[in-house]
Amino acid sequence: MAVLELRDVHLTYRTAQGPVPAVRGVDLSVDGGEVLGLAGESGCGKSSLVACVLRLQPRSATVTGQVLVGGENVQTMSWRRLRAVRWGEAAVVFQGALHSLNPIQRIGRQLVEPILLHDSAATPRTAADKVAGLLAQVGLPETHADSYPHQLSGGQKQRVMIALALTCDPQVLIADEPTTALDVMVQAQVLELLVGIARQRDMGVVIISHDLSVLATTCHRVAVMYAGRVVELGPAQELFEHARHPYVRALARAFPTIGEARSRYAPAGLPGDPPFPDRLPGGCPFHPRCADAVDECSSVDVRLRPAGPGRVAACVHVGAGVG
Amino acid sequence: MSTQPAGNDDDPGVDAVAVATTPVPSQRAVARARRAASLRRFVRAYASRRAGMLGLAILLVFTLLALLAPVLFPAEMLDIIETVDNDALAPPSGEFWLGTDENGRSVLAVLVWGARASLIVGLAASLISMLLGTLIGIGSGHFRGPFGSALQRLTDWFLVIPFIPLVVVLAAVLGQRGLGTIVLVLGVTSWPGTARLVRAQTLSVEGRPYLERAKALGGSDWQQMSRHVLPNVMPLVVANTTLTVAIVILSETTLAFLGLGDPFLDSWGTMLDKATDAGAASTGAWWYLLPPGVCVIFVVLAFTLIGRALEAVLDPRLGRD
Amino acid sequence: MSLPGENDTGSGPVLEVEDLSVTFRGRGGLAARALDGVNLAIGAAEIVAVVGESGCGKTTLGRSILGLVRPTSGTIRFRGEPLSYAARALKRYRRDVQLVLQDPTGALNPRHSVYEAVAEGPRVHRLGDEPGRVARSLAQAGLRPPERFLLRYPHELSGGQRQRVVIAGALAVEPKVVVADEPVSSLDASVRGEILALLLRLREQLGLSLLVVTHDLGLAWNIADRIVVMYLGRVVEQGSTEQVLSHPQHPYTRALLSVVPEIEHIPSVVLSGEAPDPSRIPTGCRFHPRCPALADGTAAAAGIADDCRGRELGVLPATGDHLAACHLRPPPLHPPAALRESAG
């Protein structure tokens, strides 16, 4: 059963300059125990998508489609139910979350707070025990419950944020750029932790990153977003090694394989910049930067097409039935 | 926001770019246009704040009165020799709208001239305070070693000096209690507030990477402070100075009322002082006592409203400008 | 002693760092040895990557080279001349050695137009033909036609364009060496390649030497001739990029490489914990508390476990050979270079 399902989700912001479509029709699903990677760069809509899952989008934004957490639509549920779902069913570790710890409260106290909020049967003693267990699960010694945030390193703070997300035993955990601003070794530790949690708790985990190579080795499946849509989806390793969409191919090449002669002195980049959601090019939004663009790319907006078993890609060059 | 620039690619032949020097005049012209546009934006933002517009209106009225004082009430009207024949402390009448003071002068005339005095003192002292405060504030924020600490100590020291004893001491030291002394004293006691604000803002700017870049490019301390720190600090200083004017005017009034002001200057404070000396409160000469007090309140209110509105509009957290 | 860099003109390295140490004093009087003896040499038109995690001292090394941090001991030499901290000499030095920062958004004053940002350097040094210089630098940095960008403000540009403006600003004073601190880590993945390609092109066309400070080994593979791996203030391994990344000798380098995705030839070793802070450097080999070779018994088998814990290693010399500062002498791929014992 899918713990998280997005069906044709659209999110449009209302601004002084008119409506800005940040998410333009996304379909995704995550099962319990599965790790889904979501790759994309600035402006692709991934942060907006994350906000939808907990109905955290600003009031001026309109959301259509269904956002199902454990089968219930988050966007239409009652306020009371929403408060229970937030953190209790789905939790998010936001980008740059390590900076959002309250600097004047001890870690233990901050972790205990959501437990007491959500579980009416919890007492301070049971909550403290649970916090100790959580800290152990994220690889931190119990004594850190008495520490203040400034006494912890970046990697340790990120672990605390993950522990915080797990306090109410959600079914879904979304980690938005959990490894940026961390050293490579700490990144590896955090990713290992997230994969372990997914397995042990049978949780659906979504990892968002702009580094496709990291997602390829950590996740089961990867979806790549561009200009508010998913442009390719498939098994992680396969997608990384044999991407069908030109943008995904370029993204895969952006981080070179060390030891490979062809990337030595040959950094591979894409000309131009990712488009802003308020001025998308006509037709396929990627066509101005695409090396394989043909005439129809500037006028025909391609949707996802089958590109092999369990794979879809949104490109004219991906013909239906062509593997 | 940005359009895709043509030719963002890199082609070889980096030296073979022939560059016309025509961009320079057009770059100045466009920079001017940008400044004009941001000024328009500022004016629009300010105009939308009703409190600020009210303050501005009040200030305009007083400024007009102050400017037109010699026209509306010729200087002779203040000469006590000329007015000795008038009834002293007479209540308002057709001839004297606000009655007369103890020397027979029209209270209204003195009031309008008083506006001049108060505004001049307020602005002059605030200017001194702004200059000193900005210089010392930026200095103490930028220089880290003993020099910066010394400036900071200086600021703290001046901040806690009690204001009235200082006036008395300075007046005694400087020998006479003229307008210049008053302006000097008020300027010297008001700058620490500005300096502290400027220092805080300087410290926040100093932490930004573009300051480090300026240093790495070889910029001297002076260049760093003038090109990067000052423009970021100025909006705050302007807003703060406006509030300082209010405080200074109030302080001058206080000083004069206590008898420490310039006795030959006809400011609102001296009016209040003379009024109480002449026993206006006990004889019920409200037309002498009330108007200067009310004027002070209105002018101080005006500057406060303007200052607050400026702060809100120029808040750097709200974006550029 | 072999001189580094194949592009060496035979006139010696452009920039040399000798026995550099930088100690910061913390609040409680704790001394943090951010740099604890580093030797480095950069040749003309050479790209050297300094790699390591946070706390290793690579940023301090970069800033020392730029003259922004005064070393506690050691010398920095530009073209053979030691760096002088007198105001005028330092300013002259700043024309030759320039900086590109990590975050292009923070590096540009939001109130200054692109023209003003790039002209800042030439103005400070009173270099003539300011408009010409600005336009040329923008073109060199790949922003063409320059006129289109002169009047823009940073918030109107994309991240990649902002970084190009920062690079143009550095180029405007015609430096010989550019120190780039994480030049692409805050940029989008698809833009990364373009900026790196630009840096390579600048090396080819202008003969620029580059010191790139980064934690990204892939970046080093993309553009660096040589790589220097740092840990807790010392260099633990150095050599040509191919040698170090294909046959890493030091256990730390091996661990770093092993966690890079796509690396197959080294089994993944995720080190536990994090590097201790520079005020508490371990005795003996500073890596020994986290060293997998010590933990899994390889060191004990080689009989050097006590050395790892107690005997300090020397400071590596600034040569182009592939060297590693490790008690465990792996099968020699290179003639064992003499490790100078450090003064401490």
Give pLDDT tens digits along chain C (344 positions). 344 444 444 567 899 999 999 998 876 778 888 898 899 999 999 999 999 988 888 989 999 999 888 899 999 999 988 988 888 888 889 899 999 988 888 889 888 889 989 999 898 898 888 888 999 999 999 898 888 888 888 888 888 899 999 999 999 999 999 999 999 888 888 888 899 999 999 999 999 999 999 988 889 999 999 999 999 999 999 999 999 998 888 989 988 888 887 777 777 777 877 777 778 888 888 888 888 888 888 777 877 788 788 877 878 888 878 888 888 764 333 333 333 333 33
Across residues A199-221, what is the average pLDDT? Answer: 90
pLDDT at C166: 94
Q: Which of C190, C195, C260 sits opposite A274 (nearest CB)?
A: C190
User: Chain A contacts of B1, Cβ < 8 Å?
Assistant: 276
| Chain-chain contact of C265 with A259 (C-beta, under 8 angstroms) | yes
Find out whether A38 and A32 touch, Cβ atoms under 8 Å: no
Across residues B196-215, what is the average pLDDT? Answer: 88
What are residue A90's DSSP bridge partners? A86, A172
**C42 — phi, psi (to 5°)?**
-120, 130
Residue B2 has pLDDT above 80, yes or no: no
For residue A33, give every residue at least 6 positions away whose Cβ sits within 8 Å of its Cβ, in sequence order, or none. Answer: A198, A199, A202, A203, A204
Across residues A244-256, what is the average pLDDT? Answer: 88
Q: How many Cβ contacts (< 8 angstroms) between chains A and B?
A: 9
Q: Which helix (H) or strand (E) holds A225?
A: strand A221-226
Nearest chain C residue to A189 by CA distance is C270
Top-confidence residue, A192 or C339: A192
pLDDT at B27: 62
| Chain-chain contact of C260 with A184 (C-beta, under 8 angstroms) | yes
pLDDT band at A320 (very low <50, low <70, confident <90, very high): low
What is d(CA A248, CA A226) in angstroms, rounded to the nearest whole number? Answer: 9
Strand bridging mode A2-15 / A312-313? unpaired
Interface test with B, best of A273, A278, A286, A290 (most B CBs within 10 A): A273
Residue B112 has pLDDT above 80, yes or no: yes
The 3-state DSSP class for residue A280 equals coil
User: Chain B contacts of C201, Cβ < 8 Å?
Assistant: 10, 12, 14
pLDDT at B135: 92
Measure in Å the smallest separation between the Cα of B144 and chain C Cα atoms.
14
User: Chain A contacts of C194, Cβ < 8 Å?
Assistant: 267, 269-271
pLDDT digits (tens, 9 = 90+) for C183-226: 988 888 888 889 999 999 999 999 999 999 998 888 999 999 99
| Chain-chain contact of C262 with A250 (C-beta, under 8 angstroms) | no
Lowest-pLDDT range, A74-78, A250-254, A318-322, C251-255? A318-322
The reply to whether C159 touches chain A by the CB within 8 Å rule is yes
Model ipTM value: 0.83
Find out whether A98 and A154 touch, Cβ atoms under 8 Å: yes
User: Chain A contacts of C189, Cβ < 8 Å?
Assistant: 41, 210-212, 251, 254-255
The reply to whether B9 touches chain A by the CB within 8 Å rule is yes
pLDDT digits (tens, 9 = 90+) for A253-305: 888 888 888 888 888 888 888 888 888 888 888 888 888 888 888 888 888 88
The 3-state DSSP class for residue A267 equals coil
pLDDT at B26: 61
The reply to whether C257 touches chain A by the CB within 8 Å rule is yes
pLDDT band at B117 (very low <50, low <70, confident <90, very high): confident
pLDDT band at B58 (very low <50, low <70, confident <90, very high): very high
The reply to whether C142 touches chain A by the CB within 8 Å rule is no
What size, in residues, is chain B? Answer: 321
Average pLDDT score, chain B: 80
User: Chain A contacts of C270, Cβ < 8 Å?
Assistant: 185, 188-189, 192
Indicate the pTM of the whole model: 0.81
The 3-state DSSP class for residue A167 equals coil
Measure in Å the smallest separation between the Cα of B4 and chain A Cα atoms.
7
Please state, as a whole number, how many other Cβ atoms lie within 10 Å of the Cβ of residue B28: 11
The reply to whether C190 touches chain A by the CB within 8 Å rule is yes
pLDDT digits (tens, 9 = 90+) for A281-293: 888 888 888 888 8
List the structure tokens of A205: 């985990």
For residue A29, give every residue at least 6 positions away whose Cβ sits within 8 Å of its Cβ, in sequence order, or none. Answer: A2, A4, A5, A6
pLDDT digits (tens, 9 = 90+) for B227-274: 888 888 888 888 888 888 888 888 888 888 877 777 778 888 888 888
What are residue C234's DSSP bridge partners? C231
Across residues B178-203, what is the average pLDDT? Answer: 86
pLDDT band at A155 (very low <50, low <70, confident <90, very high): confident
pLDDT band at A172 (very low <50, low <70, confident <90, very high): very high
Across residues B50-77, what is the average pLDDT? Answer: 87
Measure in Å the smallest separation between the Cα of C189 and chain B Cα atoms.
17
Residue A5 has pLDDT above 90, yes or no: yes
What is d(CA A136, CA A159) in angstroms, rounded to the nearest whole number? Answer: 10
Across residues B130-152, what is the average pLDDT? Answer: 91
Average pLDDT score, chain A: 88
Chain B, residues 216-255, CB within 8 A of chain C, namely: 216-220, 223, 227-228, 231-232
User: Chain B contacts of A272, Cβ < 8 Å?
Assistant: 4, 8
What is d(CA C89, CA C67) in angstroms, rounded to the nearest whole number? Answer: 11
Nearest chain C residue to B10 by CA distance is C142
